[in-house]
Copies of this chain bind each other. A is one copy, B any other.
Amino acid sequence: MNVLWVVAPPDPQSLTATLAVDGVEALREQGHTVEVSDLPAMGWNPVVTAADYGTEGRLRVSEAAGAASAEGRLPADVTAEQDKIRRADALVLHFPMWWFSMPAIMKGWIDRVFVSGFAYGVRAPEGHTRRYGDGILAGKRALVVTSTGGPAAAFGPRGVNGELDELLFPILHGTLFYAGATVLAPHLVPGADRYTEADASAAAADLRARLAGLEADAPLPYRVEREDYERLELRPHVATGETGLRAHLREGLMTTPGGDQQALTQVSA
């Protein structure tokens, strides 16, 4: 596969930076080709402004971005990233979790690259909007790799922070699956605030093991919009009586304490 690894290390010597080197090396050893977007090293500008779309006066972002996409007027730094995405068979988003989400620099990679006419607002030849199971990422796999200060239990089904897959739902479902990707369960690197050299080695080994499954692991079984929803809501006969983020997974997937990964595999097997 051709893999695009997008990473946001807070500095070039951080655990995120060294794990990214390990991850890329592991993928190359498996025979994959890898492109890397190291956002801080690239000096990535995370802020959407009218300058991205050559707009004068009032900016309506989705309208302006759609026009700029259609007319080939997006800035070069944005189209370079879009081209990397088009070339990729798999996308890895790798970041330290800050306030239960991406650092701003990576959120701004999404905001500026995933514009209307590219990642949303695109109609299929059949007339429907390509979205939630269909889009520019269709046929591509996506994996989030994220490190946290706290232990894994704090991100478990009854963990104080909220369960990992649900915390990352805006990214996993709302961004990657929205744009059509086949989304894997996220890979957590816990205890990153106080890691030792031995911890870093163990984290690298875990990541390598996880990446061995990038091509074939069963994905999160999110429901496809065109099958299970009507007028932007779950059809009445689908997950009847269920609400909450979990209702958007097929098979009434239940996570089990300490066995998250396993449960996902079982359901999808």
Give residues in A with beta carbon < 8 Å to B: 10-11, 13-14, 40, 46-50, 55, 57-63, 96, 98-105, 107-108, 110-111, 114, 132, 149-151, 153-154, 156-163, 166-167, 169-171, 173-175, 178, 193, 225, 229, 231-234, 239, 242-248, 254-255
Measured between C-beta atoms, what is the minimum distance from A258 to chain B in Å? 11
Cβ-closest 8 pairs across A and B: A104-B108, A100-B170, A100-B174, A157-B243, A46-B104, A11-B59, A154-B232, A13-B58
Distance A95 CA – B60 CA, assembled complex (angstroms): 14
Inter-chain contacts of A154 with B (CB < 8 A): 232-233
Distance A61 CA – B193 CA, assembled complex (angstroms): 8
**B243 touching A163 by the CB < 8 A rule?**
yes
Inter-chain contacts of A50 with B (CB < 8 A): 10-11
Distance A63 CA – B149 CA, assembled complex (angstroms): 11
Which residue of B has the minimal Cβ distance to A112?
A: B104
Which residue of B has the minimal Cβ distance to A174?
A: B100
How many copies are assembled? 2
Inter-chain contacts of A59 with B (CB < 8 A): 10-11, 13-14
Measured between C-beta atoms, what is the minimum distance from A264 to chain B in Å? 14
Distance A248 CA – B155 CA, assembled complex (angstroms): 12
Distance A163 CA – B246 CA, assembled complex (angstroms): 10
**B101 touching A160 by the CB < 8 A rule?**
no
With A14-B58, A50-B11 in contact, is A174–B159 under 8 Å at CB?
A: no
Measured between C-beta atoms, what is the minimum distance from A168 to chain B in Å? 8
Inter-chain contacts of A247 with B (CB < 8 A): 158
With A14-B59, A248-B162 in contact, is A111–B132 under 8 Å at CB?
A: no
Inter-chain contacts of A104 with B (CB < 8 A): 46-48, 104-105, 107-108, 111
Q: What are 21 contact pairs spanning A and B, CB under 8 A?
A: A11-B59, A46-B46, A46-B108, A62-B193, A98-B111, A99-B114, A100-B170, A100-B174, A102-B107, A103-B107, A154-B232, A158-B234, A160-B225, A160-B232, A160-B234, A162-B169, A162-B170, A162-B174, A162-B245, A163-B244, A167-B170
